[in-house]
Amino acid sequence: MKNTLTTDDIATYLARQLTNFFPDREVTPAELRPHVGVALERLEHCFLNVRRRGYFDGLQATFDHLHTDQYASFLWFVGNTIHIASGDRRLAVKSYALNKALHGLDVFFEVGMPEIFCFQHPVGTVIGRAKALGNHLFVYQNVNIGGSIDLEYPSLGEGVVLFNGATVSGPTTIGDNVWLGPQCNVKGGAIPSSSLVFGSGPNVVVKPTHRSVRAHFFERVPSSPQASP
């Protein structure tokens, strides 16, 4: 993957951010370096499957630490990697909290995000616990995914896009290849695969569609290699 900074420089950059935002102790590049390396490998696999400008240069995945949507994904991968590899909860929490501070995005490091997903200017988005979040998940701003007051959680299939303001909560099952429209609110019940969803609550409107979430947001159109700048 082509990065704007080397792995060591990214570890140093992140260590400085974590130390400055949370000055209870100094976070060192050395303690972050192995986690950053693994997070970047996971990020590369994710970005190789994202069909958005700036994620692929025609030859390889690309990561710009100043591209805020990309950096938001990176911070989740870092926190989740720390949680899995070392169990250092305090350090993982700092990565999660930094994401909230920088991007207004609330995705806890324990949340089971899929291997392949994309955030599109996700300010105000909260992704909580779910039974399942399928691959090829595309999320816009002010989106909410989470449980009910009775701690019942939704399940999202593969190839789901949530446009701005969409909410999925409670014991809801979303099928594969589902488009949830702006301000759509789905709580309970099941949405069939290959659907367009509009409206809120009992007035949700579900229409069939043949348009593919994966083809629109994730599957790149074959093209000739582009020269690196």
Across 36-64, average pLDDT: 96
- In angstroms, the CA 80 to CA 161 distance is 22
**125 burial class (0-12, 13-18, 19+ CB within 10 angstroms)?**
buried
Three-point CA angle 164, 69, 145, nearest 5°:
40
For the stretch 93-113, pLDDT in tens is 999 999 999 999 999 999 999
Whether the per-residue pLDDT at 31 is higher than 60: the answer is yes
* Percent residues over pLDDT 90 in the chain: 93
- In angstroms, the CA 25 to CA 209 distance is 52
Decide if 229 is inside a domain.
no
What is residue 23's DSSP assignment?
T
Query: Where is the domain boundary, 103, 128, 149?
Result: 103
Predicted local distance difference test score (pLDDT) of residue 122: 96
| pLDDT band with cut points at 50, 70 and 90 for residue 221 | low
pTM of the predicted model, to two decimals? 0.93
Query: Do both 63 and 135 map to the same domain?
Result: no
Query: Do both 56 and 131 map to the same domain?
Result: no
Residue length of the chain: 229
Whether the per-residue pLDDT at 150 is higher than 70: the answer is yes
Domain range holding 79?
A: 2-103
Across 181-190, average pLDDT: 95
Total domains, the chain = 2
Query: Do both 93 and 182 map to the same domain?
Result: no
Which letter, b or e, does each residue of 45-59 get, where b requires 16 or more Cβ atoms within 10 Å of its Cβ?
ebbebbbeeebbeee
Three-point CA angle 117, 123, 129, nearest 5°:
55
Decide if 225 is inside a domain.
no
**198 burial class (0-12, 13-18, 19+ CB within 10 angstroms)?**
middle
Give residue 170's region: left, alpha or beta (phi > 0; psi -120 to 50). left
Residue whose entry in the numeric block shows the structure tokens 């994309």: 118
Query: Do both 97 and 127 map to the same domain?
Result: no
Across 172-201, average pLDDT: 96
| pLDDT band with cut points at 50, 70 and 90 for residue 186 | very high
